[in-house]
Amino acid sequence: MSGRTDSARAITVIVTFFADLRRFLPRGADGPQRYMLSGNATIADLLAVIGIKPDADVTAAVDGELADRETVLHEGADVMLLSPMEGGAMDRFGYWNKILHVNLADRSTRIEEPGDAFFRRYAGGRGLIAHYLLKYVPKGADPLGPDNILVIAPGVITGAPVPGAGRHSVGAKSPLTGGFGESESGGYWGAELKRAGWDAIVFHGVSPTPVYLWINEGQVEFRDASHLWGKITGEVEDLILAELGDKLIRIAQIGPAGENLVRYACIANELNEVAGRTGMGAVMGSKRLKAIAVRGKTPVKIADQRGLLAMAKWVSGTMDEKHRAFHEFGTGAAMQGKSLEGGMPVLNYRLGAADTIAKVDAIAVRDEVRVRMGACYACSVRCKKVVHIEEREEAARAAAENVYKGRANVAFDPLGRYSVDPRYGGPEYESLAALGVNLGLDDLIAICKSNEMCNYLAMDTVSLGCTLAWAMECFEKGILTLEDTGGVPLRFRDADGVIKLVEMIAYRRGIGDLLAEGSQRAAQRLGRGSEAFLTTVKGMEMAMHDPRHMPVMRASYLLAPTGGDHMRQTSNRNGLRNQIGLCHFLAYEDDQSLQILKTVTGWDITPEEMVTTAHRGLTLARLFNLREGMSRADDRLPARFSDPLPKHAGLTRAQQDKIVTDYYVEQGWDAQTGVPTAETIRALELEADAVHAR
Ligand code: SF4
């Protein structure tokens, strides 16, 4: 806290800095900042305290309303400082009409300007990724070979200054499922790419040597990454920032897991945000592309800045009512309730409850290891946990004093085993469950450690945890033996064993080589009835929401184009958000999402067109999966979920079939085969894409 104060009438205001204005953040700070000012302070006074010149080209808003330099601030005022939003000068808003194609084989680039109709049709995310996969990836291509492409696709609202608009998707043919691969990430990287003037990047081919891409606004440079290859994400970030000399650069990168083609390697941005699912890090590794560094200084153009500010104001004004739990705990606050209801994945999805759950949920994280909450671009919800653990008590005390100035306690490991670096964030619900209770663990420090390792080695915590749970059940039943594992025991409830296995998998050492293939491939290789313990759909391990307990998850797992995905991408709501680049956690109603889309792009879009956009993305992904050999037989849960839990019945084949058929009909696909009908293809204007689906 800083500022000019008048002790009698001091007020505190909360200031959020957008984009380039982050350079005015106090050193080491992130997200909204508190400033103490005199009671009659104005915006001009605040700017002076921050160090911004009074005539700087900065737009200010107070409680969501535009404010001028003379606007008087009040106690608790929610101030936003933005770079100029240039509305009105051009008739294109939200996107630039610029897609960067990068050929890694010959190190050339080209710019595609596909036109406004293209962006209105695909919007971004899944729609855009599926379009390019159908167009450029030959049928049957090896996901880890030169014919696969890697697409990075924010949405048309990504980079707009409104909570939730910091998302980007990464897509390719998945090395885990052999079908449509895609994963979303938050943080700042996607917004930075948009601010650099790009709507998407499509990587083609394979680089002969390790390389990283440096995108500085419109300039694109290939840079040698030999010295970065083999390094963990934190080291790579430090080296690139030092090399390029700008601390505001944002970096998306793979870790050793991606280099070693672990089939569920992820792509990390800002070290603690990940495009986690479907093995996109392995595709990036197969292309010898270590990182993409981006710096963008051009604000995304907004059609109706007042309208957008009103949406931002709605989020901050309804925080208590709509987002308090998220703001307070992030994901994972409801784990005790889930366990009481018998729906918690425990010991490879067998039990539904754990009496140790309170030791490892988000409440325990807050009380024991968390030092603060972090945020994504433009988001006031701040739902991202940041944990800090030291091995020794003295080091923890020193960090609390020197780093946090007494504002946070720093935990230490009473067993002196592990430290956890706050740069790598903290465990979300999926990681707490997949690396914790589903492996029988109640050791919060070890769970935070394996989560940190997954971020610095860059691996998906869900697929990793589920693969370990599968292997542990095989070991428990004598299907996997010490002879198979090279003497490494694979036991539930063995926290230190999990830490060792995480590293073995990332570097494909010993039994880690088999487990790096993902549980389904490993089961196919092992045989011996081990398939019975799988928790995969279409080859991807299911997330930590048991469909026997949560009916709402059933369609998501059965029908998401990526396999065992819990994000309910199959719904119109989330399908649309994926494509436009809006976070699922924001409690916007559908008409508010529509409003955001309109205020950013200026499109005169109807609710019906919004639904059509979501259907288009899902149908394109379906076309890709069908072309790659998937069928109705792949829209099925693994055998485990036919078994009952103590408190929930198993799901019968007939129940699953009904969900699948109903969904096919809703999407306009053939009710039996799930093949999109000619009429649907026409209605969605996908004739050109469908040509590539044969
Ligand atoms: S709600 Fe959480 S995940 Fe979503 S944009 Fe905000 S901080 Fe990021």
**Share in percent of the chain as helix, strand, coil (round to 5):** 40, 15, 45
Residue 85 has pLDDT above 80, yes or no: no
* pLDDT at residue 6, as a whole number: 45
DSSP state of 322: I
**Cβ distance 477 to 529 under 8 Å?**
no
Element at 573 (helix H, strand E) = helix 572-580
Whether 173 is in the pocket of ligand 1, judged by its Cβ within 6 Å, is: no
* pLDDT at residue 20, as a whole number: 64
Whether 610 is in the pocket of ligand 1, judged by its Cβ within 6 Å, is: no
How much distance in Å is there from the Cα of 298 to the middle of ligand 1?
A: 23
* pLDDT at residue 83, as a whole number: 64
The Cβ-side half-sphere exposure at 18, using a 13 Å CA radius, reads 29
Whether 386 is in the pocket of ligand 1, judged by its Cβ within 6 Å, is: no
Q: pLDDT digit string (tens) for 376-418?
A: 999 999 999 999 999 999 999 999 999 999 999 999 999 999 9
Q: pLDDT digit string (tens) for 293-313?
A: 999 999 999 999 999 999 999
Whether 198 is in the pocket of ligand 1, judged by its Cβ within 6 Å, is: no
| 38 phi/psi in degrees, rounded to 5 | -70, 160
- Report the SS3 class of residue 567: coil
Residue 24 has pLDDT above 90, yes or no: no
**Cβ distance 174 to 181 under 8 Å?**
yes
How much distance in Å is there from the Cα of 122 to the middle of ligand 1?
A: 23
pLDDT band at 5 (very low <50, low <70, confident <90, very high): very low
Residue 564 CA: distances (Å) to CA of 365, 413, 428, 429, 567: 26, 34, 18, 16, 9
Write down the number of H helices and E strands in the chain. 26, 23
Whether 211 is in the pocket of ligand 1, judged by its Cβ within 6 Å, is: no
- Report the SS3 class of residue 483: helix
* pLDDT at residue 375, as a whole number: 94
Mean pLDDT of the chain: 94
**Cβ distance 570 to 559 under 8 Å?**
yes
How much distance in Å is there from the Cα of 598 to the middle of ligand 1?
A: 21
**Cβ distance 342 to 352 under 8 Å?**
yes
Which ligand 1 atom is nearest residue 583's CA?
4
Residue 32 has pLDDT above 80, yes or no: no
* pLDDT at residue 4, as a whole number: 42
The neighbouring-strand residues paired with 14 are 34, 78
* pLDDT at residue 79, as a whole number: 87
Residue 566 has pLDDT above 90, yes or no: no
Average pLDDT of the segment spanning 469-497: 97
Residue 2 has pLDDT above 70, yes or no: no
Whole-angstrom distance, CA of residue 422 vs CA of residue 365: 13
Q: pLDDT digit string (tens) for 520-560?
A: 999 999 999 999 999 999 999 999 999 999 999 999 999 99
Whole-angstrom distance, CA of residue 443 vs CA of residue 435: 10
Q: Using CB atoms within 10 A of its CB, is residue 509 exposed (0-12), middle (13-18) or buried (19+)?
A: middle
- CB within 8 A of 185, min separation 6: which ones? 167, 168, 169, 170, 252, 267, 269, 273, 274, 275, 276
Q: pLDDT digit string (tens) for 436-450?
A: 999 999 999 999 999
**Cβ distance 575 to 559 under 8 Å?**
no
Q: pLDDT digit string (tens) for 213-264?
A: 999 999 999 999 999 999 999 999 999 999 999 999 999 999 999 999 999 9
Closest residue by Cα to residue 288 from 261, 263, 251 = 261
Low-confidence winner among 86-90, 320-324, 366-370, 501-505 (lowest mean pLDDT): 86-90
Whether 374 is in the pocket of ligand 1, judged by its Cβ within 6 Å, is: no
Neighbours of 416 (CB within 10 A): 11
Average pLDDT of the segment spanning 82-103: 76
Residue 500 has pLDDT above 50, yes or no: yes
Whether 250 is in the pocket of ligand 1, judged by its Cβ within 6 Å, is: no
How much distance in Å is there from the Cα of 165 to the middle of ligand 1?
A: 9
Residue 73 has pLDDT above 90, yes or no: yes
- Report the SS3 class of residue 384: strand
Long-range contacts of range 654-658, CB-CB < 8 Å, 24 or more positions apart? 655/554, 656/554, 656/558
* pLDDT at residue 39, as a whole number: 87
Ligand 1 pocket mutation, candidates 586, 593, 596, criterion most atoms within 8 A of CB: 586
Q: Which residue has the higher pLDDT, 566 or 281?
A: 281
How much distance in Å is there from the Cα of 688 to the middle of ligand 1?
A: 36
Residue 99 CA: distances (Å) to CA of 109, 124, 283, 303: 10, 11, 20, 21
Residue 63 has pLDDT above 90, yes or no: no
- CB within 8 A of 637, min separation 6: which ones? 537, 547, 554, 557, 558, 651, 656
Residue 257 CA: distances (Å) to CA of 169, 260, 279, 362, 385: 20, 5, 10, 27, 24
Q: pLDDT digit string (tens) for 121-164?
A: 999 999 999 999 999 999 999 999 999 999 999 999 999 999 99
Whole-angstrom distance, CA of residue 476 vs CA of residue 372: 39
Q: Are strands 11-17 and 250-253 parallel, antiparallel or unpaired?
A: unpaired
Residue 86 has pLDDT above 80, yes or no: no
Whole-angstrom distance, CA of residue 181 vs CA of residue 571: 18
Alpha helices in 405-460 (DSSP H): 429-434, 444-457
Which ligand 1 atom is nearest residue 380's CA?
6
Residue 231 CA: distances (Å) to CA of 107, 210, 224, 442, 641: 23, 12, 14, 30, 39
* pLDDT at residue 1, as a whole number: 40
Structure tokens at 575: 């399908």
* pLDDT at residue 64, as a whole number: 67
The angle, 0 to 180 degrees and rounded to 10, between the axes of the packed helices 653-667 and 607-627 is 120
* pLDDT at residue 471, as a whole number: 98
* pLDDT at residue 28, as a whole number: 64
Average pLDDT of the segment spanning 98-122: 97
Whole-model pTM above 0.75?
yes
Which ligand 1 atom is nearest residue 379's CA?
6
**Cβ distance 623 to 418 under 8 Å?**
no
How much distance in Å is there from the Cα of 577 to the middle of ligand 1?
A: 13
